[in-house]
Amino acid sequence: QQPVQSPQAVILREGEDAVINCSSSKALYSVHWYRQKHGEAPVFLMILLKGGEQKGHEKISASFNEKKQQSSLYLTASQLSYSGTYFCGTEAGANNLFFGTGTRLTVIP
Amino acid sequence: KAGVTQTPRYLIKTRGQQVTLSCSPISGHRSVSWYQQTPGQGLQFLFEYFSETQRNKGNFPGRFSGRQFSNSRSEMNVSTLELGDSALYLCASSLAAREYGYTFGSGTRLTVV
């Protein structure tokens, strides 16, 4: 039930954009996105619900394609603070969240 | 407002021993989930508790168990430890996961030698 994330790692220069994808083989009720910095706990970014709208704040947004059971996280004009590992978590209606293996994002000056 | 508190932060145990990890959720959060995090495997779901009842369980052997108390605090127990159990164990609590997501604790780093 673990979703598949791609890419596994990406290196960006400040100001560049990135897209992280997450796909599941199961029909999903919701998709969560979290960011974990080295040595810290994962931090909740946003949640997308089935039938809901695309979410976003500032330069980080996400979409959810219910038909394909796919979600994408968009990071625009990346900043150094965006560095970390991004995890998507998928919920298929049972109140338990399964996470992908993560995408390591590194932003360099 | 206090966050999710996990104790202890670090633990070293010997193969064959058992261990108990503790998690205190944010006040008012009744749902507590446990995850095992290892390099390359990401976060693996262990179980989820809500109002003292285990609602969901991941694909882990029976050596992994947990419980939740009436004050929503949760414990996780691993018996007969194996070297492969070395990992960061994360606890996450939620008020309403589909609205606010989960808040994670800083984890307990378990090393089995």
B2 CA to chain A: closest CA distance, Å? Answer: 15
Distance CA B72, CA A48 (A): 27
**B60 pLDDT tier (thresholds 50, 70, 90):** very high
Angle at A20 between CA A14 and CA A24, to 5 degrees: 170
CA distance A8 to chain B (A): 10
Across the A:B interface, residue pairs with CB atoms under 8 Å apart total 69
Task: Check residue B97 and give its pLDDT.
Answer: 77
Average pLDDT over residues B68-82: 96
Q: Is residue A55's pLDDT more than 80?
A: no
The reply to whether A8 touches chain B by the CB within 8 Å rule is no
Classified as helix, coil or strand, B110 is strand
Mean pLDDT of B14-32: 96
pLDDT of B12: 98
Q: Would the CB atoms of A95 and B31 count as touching at under 8 Å?
A: yes
* A73-104 tens-digit pLDDT: 999 999 999 999 999 999 887 777 899 899 99
With CB atoms and an 8 Å threshold, state whether B45 touches A96.
Answer: yes
Residues B85-103 pLDDT 10s: 999 999 999 988 777 889 9
Res B84 pLDDT > 70: yes
Mutate to test the interface with A, among B32, B53, B90, B102 (most CBs of A within 10 A): B102
Contact B33 A46 (CB under 8 A): no
Supply the mean pLDDT for chain B. 94
Q: Residue A56's pLDDT is what? A: 66
Q: Does A44 contact B100 at a Cβ distance shorter than 8 Å?
A: yes
Q: How confident is the model at residue B17 (pLDDT cuts 50, 70, 90)?
A: very high
Please tell me which of the candidates B42, B98, B106 has its beta carbon nearest to residue A41. B106
- Position of tokens 């929503």? B72
Question: A87 contacts in B (CB within 8 Å)?
Answer: 42-43
A-chain CB neighbours of B104 within 8 Å are 34, 41-43
- Cα–Cα distance measured from residue B68 to residue B71, given in angstroms and rounded to the nearest whole number: 8
- Identify all chain B residues contacting A44, using CB atoms and an 8 Å cutoff: 100-103
Instruction: Name which of B75, B92, B67, B68 is nearest B7 in CA terms.
Output: B75
* Nearest alpha carbon to residue A98 among A65, A57, A67, A69: A69
Q: Reply yes or no on whether the pLDDT at A66 is more than 80.
A: yes
pLDDT mean over A16-36: 93
Residue A31's pLDDT is 93
